[in-house]
Chains A and B, each alone.
Chain A
Amino acid sequence: DARVTQTPRHKVTEMGQEVTMRCQPILGHNTVFWYRQTMMQGLELLAYFRNRAPLDDSGMPKDRFSAEMPDATLATLKIQPSEPRDSAVYFCASGRNVGGTSNSGNTIYFGEGSWLTVV
């Protein structure tokens, strides 16, 4: 059963520290998403990539957040410096040809999430 893998699962850090979250998409999936979930805002799209190219990161605070895909098997989301308001669950999700011209489907699969607490 292929799954999206995220690390760390839980992270508690002090304000001002750098936080890096990692995601391994399902093998063969070429579209990767980062979502942030909070009680107030629900599931917010931060950034997404297709074939490792960033397509949209308009939902991400640019001054402190950055997202990259060093290779097809790894996506990273970095916060530097972290602030208490960044406390949330960060989900990575992947899919095949999501939004592409192929009609092969838009289904995306979520990882278990990274639970971040910034104190």
Chain B
Amino acid sequence: GENVEQHPSTLSVQEGDSAVIKCTYSDSASNYFPWYKQELGKRPQLIIDIRSNVGEKKDQRIAVTLNKTAKHFSLHITETQPEDSAVYFCAASPLGGSQGNLIFGKGTKLSVKP
């Protein structure tokens, strides 16, 4: 089955700096990679996703890159703000086939200091 590793587990940056979170996956059949943001006491919410036919996707201050050959993908947040402080989870899922589940990394706690 799929296994997703996420690094770092904690990340502290100064407001305005960039933050990068990296994930690796094991199943070459995985081709959908979402990122979720979870604020304290709340549910995970999708912030951006990427499919394997795309190498990079951007949405305002957040971007995700995917390297299928190396089986890793990253989340980039630019111009960080205090409200970006949360736990971020990456996930991987195969599209099609019997294994349609979504496997999550263990999360990265991002702290943005004003």
Residues on A lying within 8 angstroms of B by beta carbon are: 31, 33, 35, 41-43, 45, 48, 50, 55-56, 91, 93, 98-101, 103, 106-113
Contacts and interface: CB of A to CB of B under 8 A. Distances in A.
Given A55-B98, A106-B100, 20 more contacts: A42-B89, A42-B104, A42-B105, A42-B107, A43-B107, A45-B102, A45-B103, A45-B104, A50-B100, A55-B101, A91-B43, A91-B44, A93-B102, A98-B101, A99-B94, A106-B49, A106-B95, A106-B102, A108-B34, A112-B43
Interface pairs A-B: 4 shortest CB-CB: A99-B100, A42-B106, A43-B104, A110-B43
Nearest to B99: A99
B43 A108 contact: no
A99 B97 contact: yes
Given A109-B46, A112-B43, A100 B105 contact: no
Contacts of A45: 101-104
Interface in B16-70: 32, 34, 36, 42-46, 49
A91 B107 CA distance: 16
B114 interface: no
Interface residues of B, number: 25
Contacts of B80: none
Contacts of A107: 34, 46, 49
Interface in B62-114: 89, 93-107
A24 to B, nearest CB: 14
Contacts of A35: 104
6 contacts: A35-B104, A42-B104, A45-B101, A106-B32, A106-B34, A106-B49
